[in-house]
Amino acid sequence: MSYKYDPSAFNDTVYVKEEGKFPFHVKSVEFTFTPTAVLIAKMILEREDGAVTTSKLFGKPEKSGQWTRLNQFIGSTSTKAEIEGLLAKGEFDITDDFIKSVCERSVGRRLMGEVRKEEYTKRDGTPGVAYSVSFYRPHAEGPVHADGPF
């Protein structure tokens, strides 16, 4: 594998620091597993102004037993043809491979994300604040844009 130094890599990343609904594009996705072997898909979402935040999808249903966030994400990042293909499949089991394929396909696609503020306690005991996308909605112009993410 080849490598080329990126001089802009050391520039400070600008993070989303406000709640609200914003257009994002999926910049990247990485996969990890919890100690109990549950898949976590962590996505980096970028706004038009370059500010970034994260969002996570888990390889298990919510406490209600539903796949609400996964359904929202698929509906927000899929084309009409992709949604019709899923509807044609009928009911099927959700696997880690399915979640990975949906997330990998979404890289570069647009969606509207609702950013929520979460307060937490840092490891040193001080309070912290994080902003992440909790809900997904389709972008008004669709998930795919011919000239780039916006």
Q: Is residue 118 domain-resident?
A: yes
Q: Does 148 map to a domain?
A: no
Considering the domain boundaries, does residue 8 fall inside one? no
In whole angstroms, what is the distance from residue 134 CA to residue 137 CA? 10
150 residues of the chain, pLDDT tens digit each = 678 776 666 567 888 999 999 999 999 999 999 999 999 999 999 999 999 999 999 999 999 999 999 999 999 999 999 999 999 999 899 999 999 999 999 999 999 999 999 999 999 999 999 999 989 999 988 888 766 654
In a domain, 5, yes or no: no
Q: Tokens for 76?
A: 């927000």
Rounded distance between C-alpha atoms, residue 12 and residue 119, angstroms: 23
State the pLDDT at residue 144.
84
Q: Which domain holds residue 86?
A: 14-137
Q: Cα Rg for the chain, rounded, in angstroms?
A: 17
Read off the CATH number of the domain in which 115 is found.
2.40.50
> Looking at the whole model, is its pTM more than 0.85?
no
Q: Is residue 35 part of a domain?
A: yes
Domain count, the chain: 1
Q: Does residue 116 sit within a domain?
A: yes
The CA-atom distances, in angstroms, between 137 and each of 78, 97, 109 are 11, 23, 12
Report how far residue 43's alpha carbon sits from residue 30's, in angstroms, rounded to the nearest whole number: 7
